[in-house]
C-alpha cells in the first residue's frame, strides 16, 4: 500500500489550516493510500474527531519518522525548520506568509530543491513565491456540504452577530477584544441593535489563556455578549444557522507591510459564514480581499468606526440584505464546493504522479 505522511507541528491548534491539510490527506486515503500523522501522542486523533469535520478514524500516528523515509508522499507544514526530505514526492503546504519561516539562505535553498510549495490562498502564494524563488500553486480548502445545508434566508435569522476564530494574540490574531469595542459602540450609537447579541466562539490553547481571560473580562461589561471556548463543532454550526451578521477583525491595527502574516491568510470561517447566508464584514486585507466582493457578497472595512457605521447602514435595507446573502451563498458554491476542491487536489498531486 502506498503511504502518505503529514508533518504538521501545529496539529493541536485544530484550526482551519489543520482541517485543510487533513482534507487533502483524506483524498489520498480515498485513492488507496495509508495516511499517517507525525505526532507524539495518539490522543490527537480523538481531538481531531471532536473538533474538526474531517473523519480521521483510519489515519494512524507516526512517532518516529519525520523526514518521509519509506513514504511515497510527504506533506509538511513548516515551522521554519527544513530538512532534506526522503519521500518520493515532497510538498510544503504554506499557511502563513511569515518571512521568518522562509529564510532564503544557502542551506535552505539546497533543501528546497526537493520540495514543491503550495499555499492556501493567492495572498499567501504571492509572498512565498517571492521568498523561496519557486512557483507556489494555490489549493483552496472546501466548505463541507453540511455547512451549505445550514443556509437560510436572512429574513429567518436571529439578531445575532457572530465571530468564530481561535483566541490568541499573535500572528493573524482574530482581535476579539476589538470586536467587543465595536459592538459596544454599535449598541450605543444605533438603537436598532439594542436587542442584538454578540457571540464569540473559538478554541483556546493553554498558552493563550491570558488573552482569552482578557476577552472574557471585557465581555462582562455587556450582558449581550457571549464568549465560548472550545465549543463543539455542532455548536458552531448551530450559530452559523441562526446568526444574521458575521464580523471578522484579523489584521485590524497591524503593520501589514512589515508583517503580512498578521492578517487573515484566507479566512475559512468567513467563507463558512457566507455559505450560511450571513452578512459578512471583514477587515480590508489578505484573504478576504480575494473572497469577498465588496458590497456584492459581503463588506470590507478599514477601521472600527467604518465597521460600526457600515453594519448599521447595511442592516437598515432589508431588500439589499436578502440579495447580498444569496450572492454570498452562490459565490461560495462556485469556488468552495468539495467537488471543486477534489478536482484541484487531483490535478495538482495526481495528474503527473507515477509512483
pLDDT at 353 > cutoff 80: no
**CB contact set of 317 (below 8 Å; sequence gap of 6+):** none
* 46 neighbors 61 (Cβ within 8 angstroms): no
DSSP H stretches of helix in the chain: 16-30, 44-51, 106-112, 122-132, 145-148, 176-189, 209-219, 233-242, 268-275, 286-291, 304-314, 318-335, 338-345
pLDDT at 296 over 60: yes
Residues 102 and 162 in one domain: no
DSSP state of 170: S
Cβ contacts of residue 261 below 8 Å, gap of 6+?
A: 96, 97, 98, 171, 172
Burial class (CB in 10 A: 0-12, 13-18, 19+), 159: middle
Q: Are 285 and 311 within one domain?
A: yes
Band of pLDDT at residue 15, cut at 50, 70 and 90: confident
Confidence of residue 352 (pLDDT cuts 50, 70, 90): low
β partners of residue 3: 34
Alpha helices (runs of H) in 52-138, residue ranges in sequence order? 106-112, 122-132
**pTM for this one?**
0.89
Conformational region of residue 14, where left means phi above 0, alpha means psi within -120 to 50, and beta covers everything else? left
Residues 82 and 175 in one domain: no
Q: Which three cell numbers stand for residue 37?
A: 500523522
The count of domains in the chain is 2
For the stretch 240-281, pLDDT in tens is 999 999 999 999 988 888 899 999 999 999 999 999 999 999
Dump pLDDT digits (tens) for 61-115: 999 988 999 999 999 999 999 999 999 999 999 998 999 999 999 999 999 999 9
Give the three cell numbers for residue 273. Answer: 459564514
SS (H, E, C) 130-143: HHHCCCEEECCCCC
Indicate whether 185 belongs to any domain. Answer: yes
pLDDT band at 50; cut points 50, 70, 90 = confident
| Domain span including residue 263 | 145-335
Nearest C-alpha neighbor of 19 from the set 340, 338, 351, 348: 338
Domain match, 37 and 65 both = yes
Indicate the angle between helix axes 268-275 and 16-30, nearest 10 degrees.
Answer: 80
65 and 137 housed in the same domain: yes
Cell of 109: 535553498
136 and 70 fall within a common domain? yes
Whether pLDDT at 294 is above 80: yes
SS3 of residue 229 by DSSP: strand
Query: Is 314 found in the same domain as 165?
Result: yes
Is the pLDDT confidence value at 230 over 70? yes
Residues 192 and 251 occupy one common structural domain: yes
The reply to whether 129 and 149 lie within a common domain is no
Task: For residues 328-343, give the mean pLDDT.
Answer: 97
Q: Are residues 135 and 229 in the same domain?
A: no
CATH of the domain at 218: 3.40.50.2000
pLDDT above 70 as % of the chain: 99
Instruction: Let me know whether 113 and 13 are in one domain.
Output: yes
Average pLDDT over the chain, rounded to whole?
A: 94
d(CA 10, CA 95) in angstroms, rounded, equals 11
Amino acid at each position: 500500500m502506498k503511504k502518505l505522511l503529514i508533518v504538521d507541528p501545529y496539529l493541536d491548534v485544530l484550526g482551519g489550516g489543520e482541517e485543510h491539510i487533513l482534507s487533502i490527506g483524506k483524498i489520498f486515503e480515498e485513492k488507496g493510500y495509508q495516511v499517517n500523522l507525525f505526532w507524539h501522542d495518539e490522543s490527537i486523533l480523538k481531538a481531531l474527531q471532536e473538533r474538526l469535520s474531517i473523519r480521521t478514524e483510519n489515519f494512524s500516528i507516526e512517532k518516529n519518522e519525520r523526514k518521509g523515509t519509506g513514504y511515497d508522499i510527504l506533506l509538511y507544514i513548516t515551522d521554519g525548520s527544513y530538512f532534506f526530505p526522503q519521500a518520493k514526492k515532497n510538498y510544503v503546504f504554506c499557511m502563513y506568509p511569515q518571512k521568518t519561516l522562509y529564510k532564503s539562505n544557502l542551506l535552505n535553498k539546497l533543501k528546497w530543491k526537493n520540495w514543491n510549495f503550495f499555499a492556501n490562498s493567492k495572498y499567501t502564494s504571492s509572498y512565498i513565491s517571492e521568498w523561496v524563488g519557486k512557483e507556489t500553486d494555490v489549493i483552496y480548502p472546501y466548505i463541507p456540504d453540511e455547512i451549505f445545508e445550514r443556509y437560510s434566508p436572512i429574513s429567518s435569522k436571529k439578531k445575532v452577530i457572530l465571530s468564530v476564530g481561535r483566541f490568541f494574540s499573535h500572528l493573524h490574531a482574530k482581535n476579539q477584544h476589538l470586536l467587543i469595542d465595536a459592538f459596544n459602540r454599535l449598541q450605543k450609537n444605533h438603537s436598532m441593535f439594542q436587542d442584538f447579541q454578540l457571540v464569540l466562539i473559538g478554541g483556546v490553547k493553554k498558552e493563550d489563556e491570558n488573552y482569552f481571560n482578557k476577552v472574557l473580562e471585557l465581555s462582562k461589561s455587556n450582558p449581550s455578549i457571549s464568549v465560548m471556548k472550545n465549543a463543539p463543532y455542532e455548536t458552531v454550526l448551530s450559530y452559523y444557522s441562526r446568526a444574521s451578521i458575521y464580523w471578522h477583525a484579523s489584521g485590524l491595527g497591524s503593520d501589514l507591510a512589515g508583517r503580512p502574516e498578521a492578517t487573515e491568510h484566507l479566512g475559512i470561517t468567513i467563507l463558512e459564514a457566507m455559505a450560511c447566508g450571513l452578512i459578512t464584514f471583514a477587515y480590508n486585507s489578505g484573504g478576504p480581499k480575494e473572497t469577498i466582493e465588496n458590497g456584492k457578497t459581503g463588506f470590507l472595512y478599514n477601521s472600527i468606526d467604518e465597521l460600526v457605521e457600515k453594519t448599521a447602514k447595511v442592516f437598515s435595507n432589508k431588500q439589499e440584505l436578502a440579495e447580498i446573502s444569496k450572492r454570498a451563498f452562490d459565490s461560495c458554491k462556485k469556488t468552495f464546493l468539495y467537488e471543486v476542491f477534489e478536482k484541484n487536489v487531483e490535478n495538482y498531486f495526481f495528474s503527473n504522479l507515477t509512483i
